[in-house]
């Protein structure tokens, strides 16, 4: 069995989710269509669904409709929340010592 065949068998046995950020790129769509057709992974395409479907139609790709968009939105929301939480913690840790110095009764005017 060749390397590609071994990888295909493993992918089918344990399908994973792949998030592709360039949802309207023709090579990305063509690869996604093939992956979906062969049931190798769940594909999440990032981009405007109408643009993605228009591009897929122009390329005569039949499986792109099975790519999930809801998961992409969920991932973006989770990433935004994590980003905001992280920077909130960083800013609190930076500002706390600065405020202590600034408002200290011993601080020079």
Per-residue pLDDT band for 109 (boundaries 50, 70, 90) equals low
Q: Which of the given ranges, 46-55, 66-75, 96-105, has the highest pLDDT on average?
A: 46-55
The reported pLDDT for the residue numbered 20 is 87
106 pLDDT exceeds 90?
no
Question: What pTM did the predictor assign?
Answer: 0.61
Q: How large is the average pLDDT for residues 11-28?
A: 89
pLDDT tens for each residue of 63-95? 998 776 666 666 777 777 788 888 777 777 766
Architecture of the domain delimited by 1-68 = 3-Layer(aba) Sandwich (3.40)
pLDDT at res. 34: 94
- DSSP sequence for the chain: --HHHHHHHHHHHS-EEEEES-TT-HHHHHHHHHHHHTT-EEEEE-S-HHHHHHHHHHTT-SSGGGSBSHHHHHHHHHHHHHHHHHHHHHHHHHHHHHHHHHT-TTS--
Q: Which residue has the higher pLDDT, 53 or 99?
A: 53
């Amino acid at each position: 069995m060749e390397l590609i065949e071994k990888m295909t068998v493993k992918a089918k046995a344990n399908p994973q989710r792949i998030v592709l950020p360039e949802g309207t790129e023709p090579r990305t769509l063509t690869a996604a269509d093939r992956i979906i057709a062969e049931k190798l992974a769940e594909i999440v395409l990032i981009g405007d669904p109408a643009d993605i479907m228009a591009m897929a139609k122009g390329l005569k790709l039949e499986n792109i409709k099975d790519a999930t968009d809801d998961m992409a939105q969920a991932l973006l929301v989770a990433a935004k929340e994590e980003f905001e939480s992280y920077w909130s913690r960083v800013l609190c840790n930076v500002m706390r010592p600065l405020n202590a110095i600034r408002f200290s009764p011993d601080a020079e005017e």
